[in-house]
Amino acid sequence: MEDRQGCYQICGPNAFNRYGFDEQVPTRVYAYNNRISGERSIGAVALTLIKVADERLGDTDEVRTPDGVTAMYSSRVRTLVDAVYDWSRFNSLPRAFGWIRTELAAGRVAAGEIVRVALRYGDVSTIRRIGALLDRDGVGAVLLRKLQRALKPTTSLIPWIPARPKRGTVDRRWGVVWNERG
C-alpha cells in the first residue's frame, strides 16, 4: 500500500477474531483499501484485497504487532457494522446480530456509536437491519429517528437473514421481514 500511496484497514474475519467475536483464526488476511482489488500472496500470507472508495475507509484502530509493525484494523464498532454491511463476503449474518447484542449488553460499544458508524459507512439495507435490531432491543427513540431520517420511504421489504426465504412477520417501520425460523 505504501508503494501506491494507498490506505487500508484489516477487516472481516481477521477483525472478528481480534475482537473476540469469532474464535476461528482466518488463514487469509482481508483488507479494505483504496488501490487494489483481488487475491494476492506475499510470502506465506494470503490476502483478499477489497477496493473501496476513499470515504468507505475510516474508523480504525492502530495495532502494533509483536515484531514492531503497525497495522490498521477496523475499530470494534466498525467491525460490527461491516459484519452486517458485507455479510455475503464474510458469511456473518445472523451471527453479527448476536455480536451486536452482546457488545451492547457488555457495555463495550454504545448504541449511539453503532448508529453513527452505520450512518457513515452503511448502505440502506445495513441501516434498515441495524435499525430493526436496535428497535427490537429497546434503544432510545432519538437514535432510532436518526436512522429513520437516513431512509427514504419504501414499500419494498428485505429479509432479516438474507440467505433464508423471505417469509415471516413484517416490520413496516424498517421494511424488514423477520425470517429467523425456517
Mean confidence (pLDDT) of the chain: 95
Peptide bond into 153 cis (omega under 30): no
pLDDT in tens, 89-139: 999 999 999 999 999 999 999 999 999 999 999 999 999 999 999 999 999
pLDDT greater than 60 at residue 182:
no
Q: Provide the percentage of residues in the chain whose pLDDT is more than 70.
A: 98
Predicted local distance difference test score (pLDDT) of residue 4: 74
The mean per-residue pLDDT over the stretch 26-48 comes to: 94
Specify the pLDDT at position 181: 78
In what helix (H) or strand (E) does residue 158 lie, and over which residues does it extend? strand 158-159
pLDDT tens-digit profile of 147-163? Answer: 999 999 989 999 999 99
Greatest C-alpha distance within the chain: 53
Distances (CA, A) of 137 to 40, 41, 90, 133: 41, 42, 24, 6
* Per-residue confidence band for 5, with pLDDT thresholds at 50, 70 and 90: confident
Q: What are residue 56's phi and psi, to 5 degrees?
A: -85, -10
Cα–Cα distance between 17 and 24 in angstroms, integer?
7
Find the mean pLDDT for residues 167-174: 96
Q: How confident is the model at residue 1 (pLDDT cuts 50, 70, 90)?
A: low
Is the pLDDT at 2 greater than 80? The verdict is no
CA 119, CA 121: separation in Å to the nearest integer? 6
For the chain, domain boundaries: 1-74, 77-182
79 against 5, higher pLDDT? 79
* Residue 46 CB partners (closer than 8 Å, separation 6+): 27, 28, 29, 39, 40
